[in-house]
Amino acid sequence: MIGIKKLLSGNEAIARGAYEAGVRAACAYPGTPSTEILENIASYPEIYSEWAPNEKVAVEVALGTCFAGARTLAAMKHVGVNVAADPLFSLAYTGVNGGFILVSADDPGMHSSQNEQDNRYYAKFMKMGLLEPTDSQEAKDFTVAGFELSERFDLPFMLRITTRISHSKGPVTLAERCEVPLKQYQKNVGKYVVMPANARKLRVSLEERLSRLAEFADTFPGNRVEGDGKEFAVITSGMGYQYARETLGNRATYLRLGLTFPLPQKLIRDFVDRHGKVYIIEEGEPFLEEQIKALGIPVIGKELLPRIGELSAAILRQKLLGEAVAQVTLAADAPLRPPVLCPGCPHRGVYYTINKVADVVTTDIGCYTLGALPPLGAGETCICMGASVGVAMGMAKMMPDKKIIATIGDSTFLHSGITGLMDVVYNRGIITLVILDNSITGMTGHQQNPATGFTIKNEPTNKVDIAEMVRACGVKKLWTVDAYDLAGLESALRAATTCGEAAVVIAKQPCVLLPGRVGGDSYQISDDCKFCKMCMKLGCPAIEQKEGRVIISAALCNGCGVCLQVCKFGAIKKAGDTHG
């Protein structure tokens, strides 16, 4: 394996880098585009790996392994860093024992996210070193380098990647694992206890550590001048570098920056002095640009290039070379294809039934957010992980005459819905919380969580009982219902929304994509069909209208039987049983 090249995604390369750097511990909560980092790390028996219930816990456990002397990696999507921000802000003060890398996987263009926050600002705000790789090979190399720098400067490092780094594959040269022994743990109250008297001293030492790193930044090999083109001079980082090279090739000279906080000030000053007119090509916000302009160095950045969405070679060709924008011609009338709940998805019938009962429905982050799309259209607020519960509580306090139902998945409930539920009970909220328990973390591609009974390495483990947890919060009204049983759901929801206190309905049914679940006996529609199209209100991709009839696609139907329950004419039957 050693020395050979493998085609790896950025996420796989970071996992490989962690292995080669002698990492002993890695923690995360799944979130696109970061998920595969921990999934791959977990395949190395040398590394203790865990899915934590949320990002804050992942970072706190990672702090513990770091303080205990292990090289440690924590990984999450950009918005996960919001959840984990509290311990991370203190970590720069304490510094590290074993090296510490936080991987922040940002999502410009919002392929699978609610915002496109540029987490490079967090590194500056939290006072961590910041590394920005440009491809899979550099993702691996910077992971290895980041652990060395973290230990050398006694600072945590952020390895900041984006969707195109995470999910683009490129050749990566493999190396052997370097065994790094646990550093000795020593009780050190002045370092690890951030009470004010200690924190004031750490605050001073933090600036000293950062200024040493700033000096080093000018000599870091990942910060370097490339090419000798005369037409353009460019300062760039991350994916911006790739799009700039693609567009300008040999026509430009590049100052590519891999360590972007603290900035290599001397390198930048010398580069701009030499070239005069310099463009900053960075995806997202003007992170480099603002700092460079604050040094009094004139550069061209976001006055020319967009800060919204992803950058691309096409955008640079248009803005820098004046090329025309490609026109959309053939695809002009192509209908959109938004993602949908799968055929047989247990969430479908739950939202269909909620629509019959609720006045207001709040929803949360997961596959079930798709229930907010037509035709179900169930879910009128979705803000962040766990917010469905608190938002419903606030609404119920102001609109007591409305039946308010909050909906949340099992993993999201454990992530941060549970705290909202405590608030509902404690402050006497009257809402109904529906926990959509599909026994897995679905949207990110089936990760285990504390209620599934398995670890990240698929070993059997202790299991949190969601119903017991709900009861322990003080909820007296609790129903557990089969998510495919629409009558059972409806009677539970009607009872819950009229009981006059906090109520919880757990709708249980495993994700239809779990192994062994797909491909139950399919259903079909007989001649008894009166074409009322009630079944089409479910928004099942297996049910479509063709040549004046409603049909069920045998190839797509997973046999959940929900459509059968909404048909008033008994026209939906098991395949092969049409005239029964």
Binding residues for another protein, per CB under 8 A? 5, 7, 9, 32-33, 35-36, 111-112, 135, 164, 167-171, 242-243, 245-246, 312-314, 326-331, 333-342, 367, 370, 373-375, 443-445, 536, 539, 541, 543-545
* Nearer to another protein (CB atom), residue 90 or residue 312: 312
Kindly state the smallest distance separating residue 456's Cβ from another protein, in Å. Answer: 18
What is the dihedral angle through the alpha carbons of 73, 35, 2, 237, rounded to the nearest 10 degrees? -80
Q: Which is nearer to another protein, 236 or 362 (CB)?
A: 236
Minimum distance from CB of 376 to another protein (Å)? 10
| Least Å from the CB of residue 3 to another protein | 15
In sequence order, the 6+-apart residues with CB closer than 8 A to the CB of 304 are 279, 319, 320
State which residue, 115 or 545, has the beta carbon closest to another protein. Answer: 545
Q: CA-CA distance, 23 to 32, in Å (whole number)? A: 23
To the nearest whole angstrom, how small is the minimum distance from the Cβ of residue 305 to another protein?
15
- Burial (CB count <10 Å: 0-12, 13-18, 19+), residue 456: buried
Number of CB atoms found within 10 A of residue 576's CB? 10
User: Min. distance of Cβ 245 from another protein in angstroms?
Assistant: 4
What is the distance between the alpha carbons of residues 133 and 143, in angstroms, rounded to a whole number? 9
Using only C-alpha atoms, the chain has a radius of gyration, in whole angstroms, of 27
Is the Cβ of residue 5 or residue 201 nearer to another protein in the bound state?
Answer: 5
Q: How near is the Cβ of 69 to another protein at its closest, in Å? A: 34
Phi, psi (degrees; rounded to nearest 5) at 530: -100, 10
- Tell me the longest C-alpha to C-alpha distance in the chain: 85
Residue number with CB closer to another protein (199 or 314): 314
Q: What's the CA gap between 271 and 235, in Å, rounded?
A: 9
Residue nearer to another protein on the CB measure, 333 or 459: 333
Choice between 213 and 252, CB closer to another protein = 252
CA angle 402, 505, 447 (to 5 degrees): 120
CB closer to another protein, 34 vs 97: 34
Residue 300 CB, nearest approach to another protein (Å): 21
Minimal distance, residue 143 CB to another protein, in Å: 19
CA distance 466 to 410: 8
Residue 253 Cβ vs another protein, minimum distance, rounded to whole Å: 16
Comparison of 135 and 285: residue with beta carbon closer to another protein: 135
Sheet architecture: strand order including 279-281: 224-226, 252-256, 232-236, 279-281
Q: How far is the CB of 319 from another protein (least distance, A)?
A: 14
**How far, in Å, are 419, 432, 502 from residue 360 at the CA level?**
21, 11, 15
For residues 503 and 572, which CB has a smaller minimum distance to another protein in the complex? 572
CA distance 15 to 30: 14
* Token pair belonging to 560: 């959940």
Q: Shortest distance, CB of residue 191 to another protein, whole angstroms?
A: 39
In the bound complex, what is the minimum distance in angstroms from residue 167's beta carbon to another protein? 5
The DSSP bridge partners found for residue 256 are: 224, 236
Q: Give 195 or 555: the residue with its C-beta nearer to another protein.
A: 555
Q: Where would I find the H helices in 427-485?
A: 466-472
- Please provide residue 280's backbone torsions phi and psi, each rounded to the nearest 5 degrees: -100, 115
232 beta partners: 252
Rounded CA-CA distance 122/334 in Å is 40
Q: Work out whether the CA dihedral 148, 61, 163, 278 comes out positive or negative.
A: negative
Q: Are 267 and 126 in contact (CB under 8 A)?
A: no
CA distances from 403 to 252, 397, 432 (A): 62, 11, 8
Sign of CA dihedral 345, 346, 352, 358: negative
Nearer to another protein, 100 or 243 (CB): 243
CA distance 465 to 463: 6
Rounded to a whole number of angstroms, the minimum distance from the CB of residue 229 to another protein is 14
Q: Which is nearer to another protein, 2 or 336 (CB)?
A: 336
